Structure 1
Amino acid sequence: MKNIFIVLLLISFCPLNAQNFKAYQFYDQKGKEIDTDKLVRKLADYDVVFFGENHNSSINHWLQLKITEALHLQKNGQIILGAEMFERDNQPQLNQYLNGKFDAKTLKDSARLWNNYATDYQPLVDFAKIQKLNFIATNVPRRYASRTAKEGFESLNNLTEKDKRYMARLPIKVTLDTPGYPEMKAMMGDHADGTKVMNFISAQAIKDATMAESILKNIQPGKTFIHYNGNYHTKEFGGIYWYVKQKSPNLKMAVISVSESENPELNFPEKDYIPTDFNLIIPADMTKTY
């Protein structure tokens, strides 16, 4: 009788619709679940790891930090960090902060930091600072991407040689064979002006090509270069990945893509999804940083 009472008591405190809540789930390219320990061991074998992100996802940024910390241990410190969120001409300011010559306020006042820098990217930069790691500002200054979107690639030829140092070497190949670019064209619609469409895609291309060149200029034998970028920049092995592959086809590279799910089990996507090497699935209602 006593045991029955205990069972009834437990049931009364356990709602019948209770369920486990998952904050994230990693899968490999075949759709098999992979835990973070195994993921880190696998990532250690790559020359370049692209860690895609949804810019406003809190769990995405937390995982970037934790995977980076774990990979740093796995590789005995032999890693290099780099990010889309920092532009090439701000590398000196970033270096000054990493070397302890700038404080956080001076960096903020002197560099073009994203609005969510303090919550989402400063933890990675501070980790690099503490561990004395290189952190590479890989992206083209936004003024040149904006100019490309408005006036096309030809307008960049008029820049000074100093300005051109902050972008990938011209001319830059732009082709709709690059994964992701046909999707951008489709977004513009069938009736959009052809020149405007290609200028829009070219603005994306100058970002991708510049980030690819920045990685290739700073990669070192035996070290894993971890690059943080918006998911679209490496989606389906396109963008930055594609441009690196054109220049250095023998580099061993991995892409971590991210996708949101309404399903609480965070199952592997089955429709309209092309997986990359590793695939991070996160809840659609996860807290956003902005």
Structure 2
Amino acid sequence: MLIKLIISITLVLSLTNCSSTEQSSKSSVEKVNPAPLTSMYSFQVVNSASKVPVSVQQLAAELQDTDVVFIGEFHSHQGSHLLQLQLLEALFKQNPNLILSMEQFTRDKQQVLDKYLAGEYGESTLIEEGEAWPHYKGSYRAIVEFAREHNIPVIASNSPAMHVRCVGKKGAEIIARFPTEQADWSAKELDLENASYKDKFLSFIQSSGRSHGQTPEQQQESQMKTYAAQLLRDTTMAESIASAMAKRPGAKVVHLNGAFHSDSHLGTVAVLETMHPTLTIKVLSPVMVEDNMQPIATAAHYKQGEYIYLLREMPERFYDKDKRNASIRKLIAKRMTETCDIP
């Protein structure tokens, strides 16, 4: 599937936006009897422990005593973003002391985001100067507008593209060489020894089967740099969440990120749990199903979070092999030209 192939290439080249994966298994399939998924906006949340579908209102009630709610997403999937909006609304009605944390904005753009929320900047300025993701209007506009209208702080939690790219190309040691004025834009230290997450990540990028003419030693070095770049995002986001909570005691955080950053309590979740082991954290993980009328999940899916939510599969991007390959070549060529400006 082209989406998975592009995600593999994206991870290997350490792109700005994170990637998420959908791992399916034909074994241990369990029917949960949710409602049919009738459109791309449809979703069905299922409690992973009970295997029982729950409404957004029920979900909000079950999350009442949770400190941090991670909503993993498939980027640009309408079902993911509708769930995020509806759950944010339900949690706000329950307790307005909320913080919205977003992977989709980077720390260096926090001031731009704050000025937009305060009514000092218009949306075009937010999108251009805040470097909003290309699909901001269709995916995140409604979520940010709800936060703005209800005075919910929005945290630009991610690491800047240049920092991620530099770590991906030169390794974690380059963090110490970031310019002084950029020092607070990213995490300063990375824990590269989380075996579970490292194994999952490296297995994923190795599955792409692309060595680019490298020796095994070069492949291993390149993969570890790519992992460090991923971990820079995770650690920066975890630190951003913790900092926001320290400034607003008692607030509940809703954090939006690609599913790979939170599935199975790895990635950003693992870093945050290490930093603050007393926090109560719950993860919602997306699952794309094969049968929209009779959605099913697997035992492996239920391990990805306290809740999963079922979605329709995204449309195939290409059926023509030549067009698909041309698109991949264009993506690789573009990313290979990106450089690190930090010596």
TM-score between both structures, scaled by the size of structure 1? 0.86
Distance 2:251 2:201 in 1: 34
Cα distance in 1 between the residues matched to 2:312 and 2:233:
29
Q: Distance in 2 between the 1:105 and 1:93 partners?
A: 11
The answer (yes or no) to whether the contact 1:216–1:244 under 8 Å persists in 2 is yes
Instruction: Identify the match of residue 99 of structure 1 among 109, 115, 118.
Output: 118
Report the secondary structure of 2:66's partner residue.
Answer: coil
Taking the TM superposition and a 5 Å limit, the aligned residue runs for 1:86-235 are 86-168=105-187, 170-179=188-197, 181-189=198-206, 191=216, 193-219=219-245, 220-235=248-263
Unaligned runs of 5+ in 1: 1-19
- Report the CA distance between 1:222 and its aligned residue: 2.3
Identity %: 26
The AA in structure 2 aligned to 1:97 is Y
Q: Which amino acid aligns with 2:162?
A: R
After superposition, residues 66-77 of structure 1 pair within 5 angstroms as: 66-75=86-95, 77=96
Following the alignment from structure 1 to structure 2, what is the Cα–Cα distance between the partners of residues 272 and 93? 38
Once the two structures are superposed, what CA deviation does each residue of 1:156-188 show, in whole Å capped at 9, x if it has no partner? 2112232121111x2211124243x31221234
Flag the structure with larger Rg: 1
Once the two structures are superposed, the pairs formed by residues 239-250 of structure 1 within 5 Å of their partners are: 239-250=267-278
Distance 2:229 2:242 in 1: 20
Return the offset for 1:24.
Answer: 2.0
**SS of corresponding position for 1:228:** strand
Deviation string, structure 1 residues 99-150 (Cα, Å, up to 9, x no partner): 0000111222211110000111111111111001100000000110100000
The alpha carbon displacement at 1:63 in A equals 1.1
Structure 1 residue aligned with 2:69, among 26, 49, 74? 49
In 1, distance between residues paired with 2:126 and 2:183? Answer: 24
The one of 233, 253, 276 equivalent to 2:305 is 276
**Secondary structure, counterpart of 1:55 in structure 2:** coil
Q: State the Cα deviation string for residues 232-289 of structure 1 (Å, max 9, x = none).
A: 100111000000011100001111111100122222323576231111111215799x
Superposition TM-score, scaled by structure 2 size: 0.74
**Cα 1:164–1:210 shift into 2, 3 Å:** same
> What do residues 30-69 of structure 1 show as CA deviations (whole Å, max 9, x unaligned)?
2222222210111221110001100021111011101111
Aligned length: 266
Alignment check: 8 A CA contact 1:178 1:239 kept: no
Give the deviation of 1:25 after TM superposition: 1.5
Query: Which letter maps to 2:107?
Result: R
- What's the Cα RMSD here? 1.9
* Structure 1 residues 287 and 82, CA gap change in structure 2 (3 angstroms): farther
Alpha-carbon separation, structure 2, partners of 1:33 and 1:276? 14
Structure 2 Cα separation of the partners of residues 271 and 199 of structure 1 = 28
Q: Which amino acid aligns with 1:244?
A: L
